[in-house]
Amino acid sequence: MMDQFVINPHGRLQEWVAHEKGYFATAGLENYELRAHNLLTRQAPEFVAEAGQLSNKQGAYQTYEAGRDASISCACHWTVNMAASASHGKLWGECYSVSPSAILVPADSKVTKPEELADTEIHVGYQSGSHYTTIQALEPFLDESQIKLVFGGTPADRVDQILSGQASAVTVFGPQLYMLEQLGYRKILDCTFMIAAMVPEGVTEDQVSRYYEALRLAQTDIDTMHQNYVHYYLEELPERHAALVDVRRFGPGERLVFEPYSESLYEATQQWVRERGIFSKKDEGSGNYQDAVLRVAASARPE
CATH number at residue 113: 3.40.190.290
What pLDDT, on the 0 to 100 scale, is given for residue 54? 58
Per-residue confidence band for 42, with pLDDT thresholds at 50, 70 and 90: very low
What pLDDT, on the 0 to 100 scale, is given for residue 45? 36
What is the spatial distance between Cα 246 and Cα 129, in angstroms, rounded to a whole number? 25
Angle, CA 155 vertex, CA 143 and CA 273 arms, to 5°: 40
Per-residue confidence band for 38, with pLDDT thresholds at 50, 70 and 90: low
**Percentage of the chain modeled with pLDDT above 90:** 81
What pLDDT, on the 0 to 100 scale, is given for residue 281? 76
β-bridge partners, 149:
122
What pLDDT, on the 0 to 100 scale, is given for residue 130? 97
Angle, CA 182 vertex, CA 37 and CA 174 arms, to 5°: 30
State yes or no: pLDDT of 59 exceeds 50: yes
Q: Average pLDDT, whole number, for the chain?
A: 90
- Domain range for 14 is 5-300
The Cβ of residue 297 has, within 10 Å, a number of other Cβ atoms equal to 7
Confirm if 35 and 149 have CB atoms less than 8 A apart.
Answer: no
The Cβ of residue 187 has, within 10 Å, a number of other Cβ atoms equal to 15
Segment 232-254 shows an average pLDDT of 96
What is the spatial distance between Cα 106 and Cα 111, in angstroms, rounded to a whole number? 9
Segment 83-104 shows an average pLDDT of 96
User: Which of 130, 146, 166, 156 lies closest to 52, judged by CA?
Assistant: 166
User: Which of 57, 52, 39 lies closest to 278, judged by CA?
Assistant: 57
Per the structure, how many domains does the chain have? Answer: 1
Burial class (CB in 10 A: 0-12, 13-18, 19+), 250: buried
What is the spatial distance between Cα 150 and Cα 123, in angstroms, rounded to a whole number? 5
What pLDDT, on the 0 to 100 scale, is given for residue 47? 34
